[in-house]
Structure 1
Amino acid sequence: MKLTEKIHLVQIDFEITLSPEKKIPRFVNVILIFGKKITLIDTGVKGSEQVIFDYIEKQNRHYSEIDTVIISHAHPDHIGSAATIKKMTNCKVLAHELEKDWIENIDLQNKQRPVPGFYNLVEKSVNIDGFISDNQTMCIEDGLTVTFIKASGHSKGSLNMIFEEDKILFTADSIPLKNDIPNYDNYLELMDSLEAIKKYTGLKTLLTSWTPPMANKNEIKKLIREGEEYMKLIDSVVKDSYPHTNENTLDFCKIAVAKLGLPPFLANPIVDKAFKSHLN
């Protein structure tokens, strides 16, 4: 999808495998910036390179022109094809330093954050060539400047990105979606990041990893408000469901998931970890 002459959004469809019989359909957005070279923001899941390369070809360009890959954060649906793209293009890979361990060592990520079907989603580890810091500004192309904002909560080093000239904000997974999978590292930090997003002024378009582009200010406010309300509801339910102990069991997670009206299969270690961040 063409947003501006240089900025394009590509949707990557994939599935999360819970078991051979149970798969959850999902999608994730990646961003392509076409200039003298091509910059890619996020890489989708394992195997997404072909979708990305096909889109580039339709723009009468070639995938070998990819010069830089910017990773918003280390989760599988954002780094899944990064290693293959780097191998095929010799591009440099950039991310926040706090995401380094999980990008450069996917086995560690799987151990600490065991997403169902993890190795179906990410191919292999990839080395980071440079780090992006909070409030760093990068001139990607003449007339295209990006400011990076550290947005902790969903992950330690999640990055939001403001395309200054076009007044586009990309929040990756920083805005929780109502009734979606509770999937974050730190509740309070995520709420702080939502507060920061609300203060961005002059915004014309909001891009996330999980929604179509939004240009209507009321729709944008509604999305953020619903995300905040959902998080506050989770906070209330978790504090009512979990005892203040360190018991290593999913029993309390199952109780909270049921109270929230979410599917029972979401009582898993990822969601349990998110819930427990409300107790700290």
Structure 2
Amino acid sequence: MTSPRSSSTEVASRVHRVPLIGATAYVILEDEITVIDAGLRGSLPRLHAWITSVGRSPQEVRRFVITHAHPDHIGGAAGADILLHPADRERPLRFNAGTIARRLSRLPATIDVADGDVVPVLGGLRVIHTPGHTPGSVCLYAEREGIVFVGDALWSDDDGALHPPNPYWSEDLPSARRSLDTLAGLRVGTILLAHRPPLERAERALGELAERWH
């Protein structure tokens, strides 16, 4: 049987990519534990099993930082502070409600984050408001580590090419295009996606996408 630990990947110093139900979480192991995105409801036992497998305690989870409030990103968040942009607070009940409301009856209590806020991990994890996929989508930029967590603001194909967010699930593609311009201005080496493997050569990939997507 595959152990929880063997299914994960360390993608940067202290940053681990952990598959959950419906999406990937990124778990940051410092004195406290920070989790970026939380999978669908039912993911929490899997997350806790992984944390235990690396010799830490689930009680050490200080916060979940949620890139956007679709249920495959927030559904598993519980037992710690949940940070979310306020523009997404009502999204699970309003977006595609016929499907999503059955999976997430109500949003858990959250703490607001805004553009420019800094989460005290990885030497300072900066919140970048990147509306488009949802009104409250955020990306999280760790400048010291040269990484950016993008949630579903971007995606990549099997050949490693970077693409705009999925139009079927995204609410405002013109806003998403403007958000790409913001991301393209970052000094970053690796893009950490929610449903795909990490993408290297990030600055080049962002620049190429910005040129293609008009």
TM-score range normalised by the length of the shorter chain: 0.7 to 0.9
Work out whether residues 12 and 51 of structure 1, in 8 Å CA contact, stay in contact via their aligned partners in 2. yes
In the TM superposition, residue 118 of structure 1 has moved relative to its aligned partner by 2.5
Question: Matches of 1:145 and 1:34 in 2, distance apart?
Answer: 14
Taking only the aligned residue pairs, the percentage that are identical comes to 21
Cross-structure match for 2:62: 67
Counterpart selection for 1:126 from 108, 116, 120: 108
The answer to whether the aligner puts 1:214 opposite 2:203 as a matched pair is no
Q: Is the 8 A contact 1:153 1:185 kept in 2?
A: yes
Whether 1:166 and 2:128 are equivalent positions in the alignment is no
C-alpha separation between the residues in 2 aligned to 1:44 and 1:194?
24
How far the C-alpha of 1:101 sits from its partner, in A, is 2.6
User: Any unmatched runs of 5+ in structure 1?
Assistant: 15-27, 233-280
Larger Rg: 1
| 1:36–1:122 Cα change, 3 Å | same
Question: Where does 1:9-48 land on structure 2 (aligned, <5 Å)?
Answer: 9-14=17-22, 28-48=23-43
Higher relative helix content: 1
Cα distance in 2 for partners of 1:164, 1:120 equals 38
Q: Does 1:92 align with 2:81?
A: yes
Q: CA deviation at 1:151?
A: 0.3
* TM-score w.r.t. length of structure 1: 0.64
Relative to the length of structure 2, the TM-score reads 0.82
* 1:9 partner letter: R
Q: Which runs of 4+ in 1 moved over 4 A?
A: 176-181
User: Contact 2:36–2:65 at 8 Å: present in 1 too?
Assistant: yes
Amino acid at match of 1:154: H
The 1:53–1:120 alpha-carbon spacing in structure 2 relative to 1, beyond 3 Å, is: farther
Give the drift of 1:2.
Answer: 0.9
2:40 partner SS? coil
CA distance in 1, matches of 2:13, 2:203: 26
How big is the shift at 1:70? 1.2
| Aligned residue runs from structure 1 range 122-201, under 5 A | 122=104, 124-128=106-110, 130-140=111-121, 144-176=123-155, 180=166, 182-201=168-187
For 1:57 and 1:120, how far apart are their aligned partners in 2? 30
Query: Is 2:114–2:129's contact at 8 Å kept on the other side of the alignment?
Result: yes
